Amino acid sequence: MSMNEASPLFVISVAAELAGMHPQTLRQYDRLGLVSPTRTAGKSRRYSMRDVSQLREIAQLSSEGVSLEGIRRVLGLEDRVAELEQRVRELEGALADEMLNRPGRRVFAAGAAGDVVSMRAGTRVRRENAIVVWRPLER
């Protein structure tokens, strides 16, 4: 079994001690859905280091006067941000792979009139550089 910060390692008494809380507080937070430890076959709670970190964050927010509902929202938003950051990393990787593996990929430039011009990679925009000389007709 590989161990990481999400590995369920700690019984409730140890997790409570690590988080600086009473075990009953952990049970309440579990009921409220603020922290959801994994359960063993015998229904015992097992907390991970991630859970303990989240408990510490809850304690910090609570000490700053944030309500439990506010804490739930903050944690939900943090989870959503983490999901979106992961999705951005996946999309950046897919885009990089596509750009490297796609032959004849195209780039874009601004045309003389401000329009968008599609070009093949490695080419440059043709610029008009002709000089026009004009003199008024003499009368």
Contacts of 12 by beta carbon, 8 Å cutoff, 6+ apart? 23, 26, 27, 37, 44, 45, 47
Q: Which CATH architecture has domain 1-139?
A: Orthogonal Bundle (1.10)
Asked whether 12 and 40 are in contact (CB, 8 A), the reply is no
The chain-wide mean pLDDT, for the chain, equals 85
Query: What is the pTM assigned to this prediction?
Result: 0.63
32-45 per-position pLDDT tens digit:
999 999 999 998 99
Q: Which pLDDT score is estimated for 121? A: 66
pLDDT band, residue 130 (cuts 50/70/90)? low
Asked whether 45 and 12 are in contact (CB, 8 A), the reply is yes
Amino acid occupying residue 134: W
Domain range summary for the chain, segments of one domain joined by +: 1-139
Over range 34-60, report the average pLDDT: 93
Q: Which pLDDT score is estimated for 65? A: 96
Distance, CA of 13 to chain centre: 32
